Amino acid sequence: MFVEMNPSIKIDRAAWLQGPSAECSVAPRDRKNPWRLVLLGAPGVGKGTQAELLTGRLQACHLSTGDVFRAASQRRDCDQSPAMKAALEYMRRGELVPDSTVWDMVRERSQCILQCDGFILDGFPRTLTQAELLKELMEKEQLSLSAVVNYELPVAEIVQRLSGRRTCEKCKSVFHVTERPSSGGGICDRCGGRLFQREDDRPEAIAVRLDAYERSTAPLIQFYKSLGLLLPVVAKGSPDEILARTMERLAQVDKLTKAL
């Protein structure tokens, strides 16, 4: 299952970000054992960065529900459905978007989960209801998750990470003012786009998000532990160190799968 990313292989997320009316330019390659991962962890723990890095290593598509909402927020007002407008208000306040809205959005994009060459779900599921719905969706197609990686970090460090995070407005790459600064200051190293602070990374929204995490998302740790899928990973250190730790844990799963 472990393959270094071939630079000629591109992963396209058009169908995920824009919905079923858009088509990915890269067709699925029908691999035998694609990775189907969920990344768990409090906001700011670095799931997005790890998802990006893992995408390169595992050749799996990065499916972030937060990115879908952010992509929708860039659209013209008249192109946003009433449900999406309401969802974006929840997001601005740092609150969770209601399960029904999130599920409608994910269900519309279910081919990204069911038919792609592996995925890394980042920011979904975030509640027990969402986790049950995902399980049902996959079970109907006789699919199961390979593992659920749970990134662990003390709250004080999470707050420091969130408040210093900067995102590229064009390619969505994530930087940090001290831990992962871009060499061009407020400009993205990858594409030259402008870096900005997400509205929900402001202090008042951070408190709301951490509270929502404790109440609604933390119970998923037990849920996936009882399914035998949970892989705890300490999220301290640089992104590369955390990636190395994650790959070590995934190698154990890989060996186990092969031994079965």
Pick the binder of ligand AMP from 96, 121, 162, 235 (CB under 6 A).
96
168 binds ligand AMP (CB under 6 A): no
Catalytic residue among 126, 161, 166, 172: 126
**Shortest Cβ 58–ligand AMP spacing (Å):** 19
Please identify, using beta-carbon distances, which residue of 1 and 166 lies nearer to ligand AMP: 166
What distance in Å separates the CA atoms of residue 53 and residue 56, rounded to the nearest whole number?
5
**Catalytic residue chosen out of the listed positions 13, 70, 109, 209:** 209
- 3-state class (DSSP) for residue 66: helix
13, 36, 62, 126: which one contacts ligand AMP (CB under 6 A)? Answer: 126
The CA R_g of the chain, rounded to the nearest whole Å, is 18
Compute the distance between CA of residue 228 and CA of residue 146 in angstroms, rounded to an integer: 10
Phi, psi torsion values for 143, nearest 5 degrees? -115, 155
Does 46 participate in binding ligand AMP (rule CB under 6 A)?
A: no
Instruction: Give the binding range for ligand AMP (CB under 6 A) out of 51-59, 78-86, 89-97, 155-163.
Output: 89-97
Using CA atoms, how far apart are residues 84 and 178, in angstroms rounded to an integer?
A: 34
CA 177 to chain centroid, in Å, comes to 21
Question: Of 172, 161, 239, whose CA–CA distance to 206 is shortest?
Answer: 161
Q: What kind and span of H or E run contains 111?
A: helix 110-114
Q: Check residue 41 for interaction with ligand AMP (CB under 6 A).
A: no
**Contact between 119 and ligand AMP (CB under 6 A)?**
no
18-26, 32-40, 52-60, 64-72 -> range binding ligand AMP (CB under 6 A):
64-72
- CA 49, CA 46: separation in Å to the nearest integer? 5
Tell me the three state secondary structure of residue 78.
Answer: helix
Binding residue (CB under 6 A) for ligand AMP from 36, 94, 172, 180? 94
Residues that bind ligand AMP (CB under 6 A): 43, 64-66, 69, 90-91, 94-97, 102, 123-124, 126, 130, 200, 209
Catalytically active residues, by annotation: 47, 126, 165, 198, 209
